[in-house]
Structure 1
């Protein structure tokens, strides 16, 4: 019977990248996502919190956010040829483990009905 030994030439950076991605998928890393209009360089939206991200086959960025001990929110950001996004690791900037913010940057304000 023959034995095969495979050696992995993984660098320290490869291992660190893998570990950081796993931490984010277990909601252990706080992130900030900024979505830009690539034609105008204007910020369209920002989101921050403990989130896992992925891209789906519908050209959407899927953001799953932990907002409580066993509570999650799933958000979709549609991507096209005019949008791009940046993801930053901002772990350690807040003390609330269920911190979550979502900002839309637009010149058009929604209609709001105010009742006394």
Structure 2
């Protein structure tokens, strides 16, 4: 496991990771703000057997659980450093997330104290 983690964090390993990231081999984020940004694999622990691999979205900075065939893969194969090193090396490839949705009527932003705003948030929470 340590050998794989060290390879992925080397320059040659990052070149392979970049190629796979551009192809979308790890999947893409379903959040509407991310516009389908591709995931990066990340391990939450470097100790083998503690946690499975997770998927990190470099746009919204969220961590997701992978689908069935990949959730059995040990996260120690990747380590915790991949997202930070990837973002520092290839920051120009990742788009900024779209701004959060603000409810508006005819372009006018609805104030949060408005009953229309409060009703909409209550209906959305149900």
Higher helix proportion (structure 1 or 2): 2
Q: TM-score, normalised by structure 2?
A: 0.27
Higher strand proportion (structure 1 or 2): 1
Q: Which has the higher contact order (CA 8 A, sep 6+)?
A: 1
